[in-house]
Structure 1
Amino acid sequence: MDALARDIHEPAVREGLGGHQAVYPSIAPAQRRHLGRVKVVTVVLAALAVICVATGCPGLLFLLGAPLVVCLIALARYGRAADRNEGSRLDLYERGFTSAHRGHVRAVRYADTDVLQDNIRHTYHGMTTKISYAYTVTDTTGERVTLRGGFADPQEWGPAIQRAVTVARFPQALARLDAGQRLDFGPLWMTAAEIGSGGKSVPWQQVEEIAVQDGYVKVRVAGRWNSLTMTPVRRIPNLFVFRALADRYCQQA
């Protein structure tokens, strides 16, 4: 067992995270490979620019300027990203996960954490160019940590963490509601009788559907959609638990 694996294993055992299920390594090696390809292109463009200056071809030099600048920016960007993600690693366990970043390992238990999800789809002329991933969780010390796309396959580990947190927290949340308690999800709240935000509420019997539209939680009542709050979903903790509970009470009503 290498040093990093040992540093990860110890807090996982100490915090009782259970059996190991999956590992997602850092994307730094892939970023460095891409960095190497960009370096080659940059050198070629720079050499052509020198030739243009030497042979007196300002027109061609002008055409080479823009892609050369783009490559220089890419070199700086990918270089910083690779350095930032070097040595990172995400390990999923039965009851939680560990996040290793810059020599520091954090442990998170699914049953105790809150999750804030802020995934952004970047588009250009209607086409998706990339998706930025960010999941903010609470570790076992009570501190918040944000997991980003520095680990491989965020489209896998992000939903996996959300599902695991929902499975772990749903039974207790449902029991509290059935016992007559109120649960708060940021600005949103619910009881076994109604759902609301602030002083505004709707009885479950009147709720036809709850959905996320345009980044906000909306409730359909009498065929019309209404926003309970103007707080975006990226600031609503444990949105998946909220949705699971809401769906259950909608069906019961």
Structure 2
Amino acid sequence: MASERGTARVPDALRVVAREHGLGARKGLVQNEPKRFPWGGVLPVGVLGAFLGWLALSYAIEDQREQGAWYYSLPLLVLAAIPLGFVGYVLFAWLFRPRPPQIWVAWYEHGALWHVDRGGTSAYTWDEIASVTRQDVKVTNGVTSATTHRLTVTSEDGAEIVVGDEFSGIVPFAEGLVDAFSRARVPRDAARLEAGERIGFGAVDIDVSGVGQGSRRIGWREVERIEVKQGRVEIRRRGERKPWMTLAAPGFPDLPVFLTLADALRRQHES
């Protein structure tokens, strides 16, 4: 299990609760990582402050010895105090910052759970989970770019398990959990559709007759394809060059489930 490399000892509560809920074998595990002290930004400032302080003291001693006026070097001492004060402030803020609790999140054959150190453990089977949402967003400042990752598992009773970049190995963990949940959810939602239900996926919903948003709907015979392109979900209508509807892919709940069911319904109406 690649997402479990480098983790600390796994609390026994995970094994006990997983067994009680019949979750089966564990497939993935992540834990939040404590933030490291920002040496890369603080150390150069500290070195500069120490150098300026040494230089200022050297001049002050020399001025006192030769002219009896150490305070001639006072401007340089003040200049040295600025970076040293900054380093002191950062150290103080770091040492006395609130410590976030240690959290473990795991997914299994038949569900997922999370455990908070010195707190509780919550477990849910796939049927007890309302939605699974990934939000991978690329952020660019004009020079460099980075992708932030966020996975939200929402239970039927409204509780949320949120896994972000502070959890080491979030990408393979999220991919595995989403795939397992989708494989378990597709047959269930397909049965609901056959029973005549309309199923919502955030801003859009589907039923056996078509797809849409509120009163704006089209039938499956009119849908040419639904695809994910450059971070967008595009619903394309036959004969039209532009997408009939465009939705953001990041934050789209149960996106693989939606795509699988929509494609199956579209193919049914083609025949």
Shorter-chain-normalised TM-score: which range? 0.7 to 0.9
Shift of 1:153: 0.9
Partners of 2:232 and 2:88 lie apart in 1 by 38
- Residue 245 of structure 1 corresponds to 261
- Residue 65 of structure 2 corresponds to none
Partners of 1:119 and 1:74 lie apart in 2 by 32
2:189 aligned with 1:173, yes or no?
A: yes
User: CA separation of 1:40/1:3 partners in 2, compared to 1, >3 Å: closer, same or farther?
Assistant: same
2:103 aligned with 1:100, yes or no?
A: no
Shift of 1:234: 4.3
Partners of 1:233 and 1:70 lie apart in 2 by 42
2:213 aligned with 1:210, yes or no?
A: no
- Residue 123 of structure 1 corresponds to 140
1:168 aligned partner, one-letter code: A
User: CA separation of 1:146/1:229 partners in 2, compared to 1, >3 Å: closer, same or farther?
Assistant: same
- Residue 186 of structure 1 corresponds to 202
Report 1:76-115 matches (<5 A). Answer: 83-84=99-100, 87-104=102-119, 105-113=121-129, 114-115=131-132
SS class of match (1:152) = coil
Partners of 2:244 and 2:141 lie apart in 1 by 29
Shift of 1:169: 0.3
Shift of 1:143: 1.4
- Partners of 2:42 and 2:87 within 8 A in 1: no
Partners of 2:254 and 2:87 lie apart in 1 by 40
2:243 aligned with 1:226, yes or no?
A: yes
CA deviations 1:34-75 (Å, max 9, x no partner) are 5466665454343234235445696xx69x96xx96997699
- Partners of 1:220 and 1:226 within 8 A in 2: yes
SS class of match (1:91) = strand
Question: Structure 2-normalised TM-score?
Answer: 0.72
Partners of 1:97 and 1:77 lie apart in 2 by 33
Structure with greater Cα Rg: 2
Shift of 1:215: 4.7
CA deviations 1:140-178 (Å, max 9, x no partner) are 754123222222111111111111111110011112223
Shift of 1:17: 1.1
- Structure 2's unaligned 5+ residue stretches are 1-7, 60-72
Partners of 2:191 and 2:204 lie apart in 1 by 18
2:53 aligned partner, one-letter code: V
Shift of 1:209: 1.7
- Residue 148 of structure 2 corresponds to 132
1:100 aligned partner, one-letter code: H
Shift of 1:9: 2.0
Partners of 1:234 and 1:218 lie apart in 2 by 13
SS class of match (1:212) = strand
Q: Identity, % of aligned pairs?
A: 23
Shift of 1:203: 1.4
- Partners of 1:35 and 1:75 within 8 A in 2: no
- Partners of 1:109 and 1:139 within 8 A in 2: no
What is the aligned residue count? 241
- Partners of 1:189 and 1:197 within 8 A in 2: yes
- Partners of 2:236 and 2:245 within 8 A in 1: no
User: CA separation of 1:35/1:235 partners in 2, compared to 1, >3 Å: closer, same or farther?
Assistant: closer
2:10 aligned with 1:7, yes or no?
A: no
- Residue 70 of structure 2 corresponds to none
